[in-house]
Amino acid sequence: MQIQTPDWVKHAVFYQIFPDRFARSQQPRSHVSYSLPFEPWDALPRLQGYKGGNLWGVIEQLDYLQNLGINAIYFTPIFQSASNHRYHTHDYYQVDPLLGGNEALMELLEECHRRDMKVLLDGVFNHASRGFFFFHDILENGDSSPWVDWFKIESFPLAPYDETKPANYVGWADLRALPAFNHDNPSVREYIMQIGEYWMKLGIDGWRLDVPFEVKTPGFWQEFRDRIKAINPNAYIVGEVWTDAREWLDGTQFDGVMNYLFTGPTIAFTAGDRVDMEQVQNRSYYPYPALDANGYGNKIKDLLTMYPWEIQLTQLNLLASHDTARLISIAGGDKASVELATLLLLTFPGTPSIYYGDEVGLPGRIDPDSRRGFPLEADWEQDSLEYHRKLIALRHAHPALRTGHYQLLLAEGMVYVFARQLEAEELIVAVNAGTTSADVSVDGSTLQSQPSQLLYGSASTAWTAKGESNHLRLSLPPRSGCILG
């Protein structure tokens, strides 16, 4: 079977937005959310409590995102929910009123599409919430409810709030707040399929699927893909799978996954032994132990042979998300770790995703701290914003950085060098993650050209002939990287 993935994804740079924390509208557009007593925007986030960010605010920041080079947005859940992260869905057909309701989403879609920007929504289809109507009916009516078989009810009475009693139903991760759907029930299956179809028909560009590995019903995700792609063959379907995802990336289910198998090694190489273990333990990815260039190269080689190339090009690559600490905090405030990792992110096959605020140096330990309000401009790290802009612009300018072949040229000590090649275009990317200057000789015999123009970073370069092949003499300052074109 020939695997097909959406072409636009290969050329996208995503920006992940946690809607409650990115931007409050400066215009009184929504009477529901405009006058409510939200917690202070710059106060440290708590598990509960709202800061009042909304979709109107995102619309007002689209110029900023476009100027950064963003052409696709992934939103964490936006549907009605009694939680600031909205993974506890109350109504899959209503955008949360605090975010501006359905009206705000429709205006956002129109404005994004006018700018050739794509919009990806978060589909939380493994579980709902205690406030979800169908489950609430069971709470009110017990075994007389017609919806009992929609969930995994074990016995009655249910105890949705009383921790001293058994819940008597299955919740995701044993959480009472998140009753798990019974996907073996054809009515549940059809209900979820129709939600996916409904928002596709209204113009979204795809779905990011929350914990899809929890859905064990045979054929479920194959049917979901078929029905979504029937509406828009170019829809992007990406799953939240933190580990080896070959089971879901056979071309019949997802176009890609959140590529934490890239995240972990990249942090382990660039941040090394600076990693604050408290921020990464008990998470399903491993940015430790520290890696040298050879160790990193082996991890990347394994990753690039794990999936078909067509899938590699539509993986969602990231350095942080709402489920992890931010890299600047993982690395103990070391700014070079973030820049080097961002360089590797934006030159790697697949679509890069920037977690809101990372581009301006927003810190954040494990959640809820990693979900802070987007900082005021006076608090931005301008250097970080500038290199994010430069690297994103280079990715857009050079097709080889998006869909070109990836070839490792050198992994020596703490220096990692690779080429991206597409037809006549060749670029060389080099990273020195070490704390001392490095001089290396890179064999260029597999290259057609001798890239020597410094497109990014600082380095001294010289090409020399050695026998039958050319070699690149490369001098890199400590904790630095470069791109040659």
pLDDT digits 0-9 by tens, 3-31: 999 999 999 999 999 999 999 998 877 65
Domain contains 136 = no
Same-domain status, 391 and 414: no
Same-domain status, 76 and 190: yes
Same-domain status, 284 and 427: no
Domain contains 118 = yes
Q: Of 379, 397, 415, which residue constitutes the final position of a domain?
A: 397
Cis amide prior to 157 (ω within 30 degrees): yes
Q: At what angle do helices 293-304 and 260-270 cross, to 10 degrees?
A: 170
Question: What is the percentage of the chain residues whose pLDDT exceeds 70?
Answer: 99
Q: Which residues contact 415 (CB under 8 A, 6 or more apart)?
A: 293, 430, 431, 432, 433, 434, 438, 440, 474, 476
Same-domain status, 241 and 367: yes
pTM: 0.97
What span, in angstroms and rounded, lies between the C-alpha atoms of 423 and 427?
Answer: 11
Res 469 pLDDT > 90: no
The structural domain count of the chain equals: 2
Same-domain status, 437 and 389: no
Q: What is the mean pLDDT of residues 325-349?
A: 98
Q: What is the pLDDT of residue 26?
A: 85
Q: Return the active site residues.
A: 210, 240
Res 32 pLDDT > 80: no
Q: Of 359, 378, 397, which residue constitutes the final position of a domain?
A: 397
Q: Of 397, 428, 457, which residue constitutes the final position of a domain?
A: 397
What span, in angstroms and rounded, lies between the C-alpha atoms of 362 and 210?
Answer: 25
